[in-house]
Amino acid sequence: MNRARGRFASVWATAAALLIAMASASASANPQDFSGWLDGVRAEARANGISQNTIDIALNGIEPLPRVIELDRNQPESTLRFEDYMSRLVSEERVSTGRALLAENSGLLQQVAERYGVQPPFIVAFWGIESNYGHLVGDFNVLAALATLAYDGRRSAYFRKELLQALRIVDQGHIAPASMTGSWAGAMGQNQFMPSSFLDYAVDFDNDGRRDIWSSQADVFASIANYLSKSGWKPGQSWGRPVRVSPGFDQNLIGLEQRRTEEEWSRLGVVLADGSPLPGTATIASLVQPAGPGGAVYLVYDNYRTILRWNRSLYFATAVGSLADRLSGS
């Protein structure tokens, strides 16, 4: 009886797996349905002022990308420890490469810094973490990837909006459709902007008439700085610093919602990582502990919150700040 029950359960498990696989493949299994859906996108694009020529060049021949659906369906749960994450993103190789590039591009970076008020080490740190200094930008056709995700239905409204914004970028002449490459989720160029972020923050710093975050170093640096500047970056201020707290420190005081001056944190027993006193200024700061209780503690300032507007991950923001420190020799 147990053996029969086991065979019965196995049959149902196999059937369930087949149903899941069929559902996952739905976006590529019905090209006619996709074609009809794409006609709706064309009509919406026209209604939003995008030229027919751009619509034809950008969308004719586009088909769903099964690999995009596969990657979207099988995103692994984040199990990477904070220490491992930091060692990967702030590796010695990335630090040494970044220092060389910081020196190599010092003139251009200084021009960008003077216009937007963002220190060069932070610009290079974002560049390094987002695309390994332009070496890992993704090779998916962004228009096809966004169309696939918009048609798929799981987050269709968001990706349909990004697809229309991508068409607008092409219509404005910034990039040819075939050259608009990026990640499977549509993040583009050396600073990995989604199309909406591109339209809001990308800059034509080299004045060639195009905002080129794929191949223009000037545009990449200025676009990063412009994003940060418009998101509230405070010129001359750092991001934060590693600190130590006293034994038995109240964990309820750790979190971005807790804002105190450095002087107040000092009175609560917070010291620098080497045990020396905090500067004791009136600068407002918060404590964060990316790895959770028992992990490293950082005293962070308003620019850390600005970094979080780029990516809401404490891991990411801490890695950017730490890499910027290493690049500047701190």
pLDDT digits (tens, 9 = 90+) for 95-143: 999 999 999 999 999 999 999 999 999 999 999 999 999 999 999 999 9
- How far apart CA 134 and CA 190 sit, in angstroms, is 5
pLDDT grade for 32, boundaries at 50, 70 and 90:
low
pLDDT grade for 289, boundaries at 50, 70 and 90:
very high
Domain ranges of the chain: 1-79+138-188
Q: Kindly report, residue by residue over 33-64, the tens digit of the pLDDT.
A: 999 999 999 999 999 999 999 999 999 999 99
Whole-number pLDDT of residue 74: 81
- How far apart CA 53 and CA 51 sit, in angstroms, is 5
More confident residue, 4 or 237: 237
Q: Once rounded to an integer, what is the mean pLDDT over residues 296-311?
A: 97
Count H helices and E strands in the chain, helices first: 16, 7
pTM exceeding 0.85: yes
pLDDT grade for 73, boundaries at 50, 70 and 90:
confident
**Distance between start and end Cα atoms, the chain:** 70
Helices 142-152 & 66-73, crossing angle to 10 degrees? 60
pLDDT grade for 155, boundaries at 50, 70 and 90:
confident
Least confident of 20-24, 194-198, 209-213, 217-221: 20-24
Q: Of 216, 191, 197, 205, whose CA–CA distance to 133 is shortest?
A: 191
Q: Under a CB-based contact definition with an 8 Å cutoff, are residues 262 and 281 in contact? A: yes
Whole-number pLDDT of residue 129: 97
Q: Under a CB-based contact definition with an 8 Å cutoff, are residues 41 and 168 in contact? A: no
Q: What is the DSSP string of 21-67?
A: HHHHTHHHH-HHHHHHHHHHHHHHHHHTT--HHHHHHHHTT----HH
- How far apart CA 104 and CA 29 sit, in angstroms, is 50
Which residue type occupies 132? N
pLDDT grade for 204, boundaries at 50, 70 and 90:
very high
Q: Domain 1-79+138-188: which CATH class?
A: mainly alpha
pLDDT grade for 1, boundaries at 50, 70 and 90:
very low
